[in-house]
Structure 1
Amino acid sequence: MKNKKIMIYGAYGYTGELIAREAVARGYHPILAGRSAEKLQPLSEELGMPAMAMPLDASETLERTLRDMDVVIHCAGPFSATAEPMMRACIAAGTHYQDITGEMQVYQRAHTMHEEAKAAGIVLCPGTGFDVIPTDCLAAALHRAIPTATHLTLGFDSDSGLSPGTAKTSIESLGVGGAVRRNGSIEIIGHGELTRTIDFGRGEKFAVAIPWGDVATAYYSTNIPNIEVYIPMSPRRAKKLKRLNAFRWLLKLSWVQNWMKEKVDKSVKGPSEDKRSEQKTWVWGEIRNDRRGERKIGRVQTANGYDVTVHGSLAVMEFLLDYQGEGGYFTPSKLCGFELVEQLPGSSLIKIGID
């Protein structure tokens, strides 16, 4: 398995570099790839791994290169622009695809490409990091507890800081609004529109619904028609967030988006290793069948989001290197089972009960 060929595209980004370093530490020899040869060179020289610079719009070159690869871990955002070209190149080349996106539209697009991937015999599995392994696995475990569920609510509480890529993804959502699933369809709602009090695992906190990827992926994993996802937020901050609804038209303009993202590049750095080691994440879920009056709560604790992304991506990669099943689109829990999150360093077992 260690001799199989892996490409990490976007290896010089904050999270891509963490994944590359851990892959090398485990004895793998990944191809470090990305759009900039200048940014790839220092990491390539330090790790002693080959580097390959190529733009995603060079489709023929990309496909030709990918024919020699068994798995691609795609780490170069914004995934709303980069995921589909890489997925299409992987389908054409016969290479398994995974990425670390949290962008809902990427999950939706991958889902529409299921039959193409199946015909090619390759797996498309976006979201093999903190977005969305912990919440997706918890959703799948809860669904086993109440298979007839009508409502699923998920959430997480974390002290983790943002990487530049995650901060930019958050900026993109400012001009769109929140999102929930109602009766099987995704609905856009206002920022701060839905709130509730949740005990994620360390006491009750005021929480706000956010447009997290599980609004798409948890539906693909469970077929539960009503889904919401929450994070803790102070009531004061929630009120400020709600005020942004009047300016969503402005916040979606490209020049405003670019200006905010430039500020991120100048000011946001990913957390250090010491900082990450201090940070834990509490993941919570509630599943209900309102017609039968059934309700259960699930919880799992994980390491910080970036360590989950590193170890989760490599766990899925290792699964795919030995994969003999059908191709197509998969969520992490549909591909590897809900136990995947429990197997990651720093994770607890999933606990489901009534409280």
Structure 2
Amino acid sequence: MAAMVRACMPLRTPPAAASSTATAPAAPSKPRSSARVLVLGGTGRVGGSTATALSKLRPDLNILIGGRNREKGESLASELGEQSEFVKIDTGNAAMLEKALEDVDLVVHTAGPFQREAECTVLRAAISTKTAYIDVCDDMDYSWRAKAFHEEAKAQGVPAITTAGIYPGVSNVMAAELVSAARSEDGEPERLRFFYYTAGSGGAGPTILATSFLLLGEDVIAYNKGEEIKLKPYSGVLNIDFGKGVRKRDVYLLNLPEVKSAHKFLGVPTVSARFGTAPFFWNWGMEAFAKFLPVELLRDKDKVGKLVKEIDPLVRAIDGIVGERVSMRVSISFISISELYSSHFYSKSILLVLKLYLQ
């Protein structure tokens, strides 16, 4: 669902450094690993957590922290050790990106929000420099623009994956597992529903706030019996049981990319996605924003960014009270082919609750 290029290849091993002919002794070079990974948005909470996790998983990697905040980037690089360094990068500058990717084996794009981004600048640069690419995009329009590069990436031999975060990403895998299980039991999926719950910012910091506000300015794309329909954002509330520790929570319709992917690639005729947060009054605020704020404001990234700066300190304070937690529930309804004429429907769900410990 998320993959644009299914083929994989090992990370390249950098060539040995050329011997120096200078008479003066050269400064000791920084230790190099077998591969270099650039994390864009590395000074943010999602990117920083990604870099930290990669460092722990593969201590041999040379991790580049890409971002605009030198102080934060160098601080994180120092924490990760000698294998890491900060690289100042503007993701909107194609020339700067291509130069940065010349000696990189993999670029991880976490510099959201992806909403209202007109160009896939990082993906273009990755294909141009033949650098493996992965992003955590959570925007429907951006993800489908990215998928349009499938043939170009394939022709260049560039592995490229979009929408590979928690949701979409892990939730897509959950959905694919449910569809596969239904069909293995002689069933045909009729309806697939994604439900997400986030306590406070869910550990993602201001990025999730900006994403949520920008999504309030988009019509919700859903599918009903194979027909694409448009619904109002943050409407259609349902009370969903997320299991022990989270219990029942209200969730609301949002325009998320996994809906279209599940319909197009998994062949499920009815698909929707809903999201809710805590404390409960945040949901009331989101409803009010969707109903009363001008759509033009909610579609303006600069204005939304300013709004987030005002609200973020309050959200962080409340996060300390309610905690930072993410829960996902993916539910499928399917009809048994062997019992088609008696119309017996079945339902299954996969539930995943994550308590986040982000750096």
Interval containing the TM-score (normalised by the shorter chain): 0.7 to 0.9
AA aligned to 2:348 is I
Tell me if 1:301 matches 2:332: no
Counterparts of 1:216-295 in structure 2, within 5 Å, are: 216-232=260-276, 241-243=286-288, 244-252=290-298, 254=300, 256-264=303-311, 266-269=313-316, 275-276=323-324, 279=325, 281-289=327-335, 292=340, 293=343, 294-295=345-346
- Residue matched to 1:200: 242
Q: What residue ranges of structure 2 are gaps of 5+ in the alignment?
A: 1-10, 12-32
**How far is 1:12 from its partner?**
0.7
In structure 2, relative to structure 1, the CA distance for the partners of 1:170 and 1:185 (3 Å cut) is farther
Tell me if 1:159 matches 2:185: no
User: Given that residues 332 and 349 in structure 2 are in contact (C-alpha distance below 8 angstroms), is that contact kept between their aligned partners in structure 1?
Assistant: yes
Which residue of 98, 108, 111 corresponds with 1:63?
A: 98
The 3-state SS of whatever aligns with 1:115 is helix
User: Given that residues 160 and 280 in structure 1 are in contact (C-alpha distance below 8 angstroms), is that contact kept between their aligned partners in structure 2?
Assistant: no
Q: Which of the two has greater helix per residue?
A: 1
In structure 2, relative to structure 1, the CA distance for the partners of 1:57 and 1:248 (3 Å cut) is closer
The 3-state SS of whatever aligns with 1:76 is coil
**How far is 1:223 from its partner?**
2.6
Deviations 1:310-343 (A, max 9, x none): 9xxxxxxxxxxxxxxxxxxxxxxxxxxxxxxxxx
Deviations 1:224-281 (A, max 9, x none): 2321112357998767655533544354363642431332455444968x955xx462
User: Given that residues 23 and 29 in structure 1 are in contact (C-alpha distance below 8 angstroms), is that contact kept between their aligned partners in structure 2?
Assistant: no
RMSD of aligned Cα (Å): 3.4
Tell me if 1:47 matches 2:47: no
Cα distance between partner residues in 2 of 1:134 and 1:220: 18
- Residue matched to 1:130: 166
Cα distance between partner residues in 1 of 2:79 and 2:240: 45
User: Given that residues 12 and 34 in structure 1 are in contact (C-alpha distance below 8 angstroms), is that contact kept between their aligned partners in structure 2?
Assistant: yes
**How far is 1:213 from its partner?**
3.1
Greater relative contact order: 1 or 2 (C-alpha under 8 angstroms, separation 6 or more)?
A: 1
Cα distance between partner residues in 1 of 2:281 and 2:76: 43
Which residue of 38, 42, 53 corresponds with 1:11?
A: 42
In structure 2, relative to structure 1, the CA distance for the partners of 1:83 and 1:53 (3 Å cut) is farther
Cα distance between partner residues in 1 of 2:168 and 2:220: 17
AA aligned to 1:231 is F
**How far is 1:13 from its partner?**
0.6
**How far is 1:184 from its partner?**
5.1
Deviations 1:275-298 (A, max 9, x none): 55xx46252312334994433212
Structure 1 stretch displaced more, 123-132 or 84-93: 123-132
Cα distance between partner residues in 2 of 1:287 and 1:120: 40
Deviations 1:119-177 (A, max 9, x none): 12222222222122332111101111234323211213443634111111011112224
In structure 2, relative to structure 1, the CA distance for the partners of 1:267 and 1:160 (3 Å cut) is closer
**How far is 1:6 from its partner?**
0.9
**How many corresponding residue pairs?**
305
In structure 2, relative to structure 1, the CA distance for the partners of 1:51 and 1:231 (3 Å cut) is closer
TM-score by length of 2: 0.72
AA aligned to 1:98 is I
- Residue matched to 1:110: 146
Tell me if 1:34 matches 2:67: yes
Cα distance between partner residues in 1 of 2:124 and 2:36: 19
User: Given that residues 242 and 351 in structure 2 are in contact (C-alpha distance below 8 angstroms), is that contact kept between their aligned partners in structure 1?
Assistant: no
AA aligned to 1:44 is A
In structure 2, relative to structure 1, the CA distance for the partners of 1:246 and 1:12 (3 Å cut) is closer
User: Given that residues 107 and 216 in structure 1 are in contact (C-alpha distance below 8 angstroms), is that contact kept between their aligned partners in structure 2?
Assistant: no
Q: What residue ranges of structure 1 are gaps of 5+ in the alignment?
A: 311-355
Cα distance between partner residues in 2 of 1:213 and 1:257: 21
User: Given that residues 57 and 85 in structure 1 are in contact (C-alpha distance below 8 angstroms), is that contact kept between their aligned partners in structure 2?
Assistant: yes
The 3-state SS of whatever aligns with 1:116 is helix
AA aligned to 1:261 is V
Identical aligned pairs, as a percentage?
A: 20
**How far is 1:97 from its partner?**
1.2
User: Given that residues 143 and 287 in structure 1 are in contact (C-alpha distance below 8 angstroms), is that contact kept between their aligned partners in structure 2?
Assistant: no
The 3-state SS of whatever aligns with 2:189 is coil
Structure 1 stretch displaced more, 11-20 or 52-61: 52-61
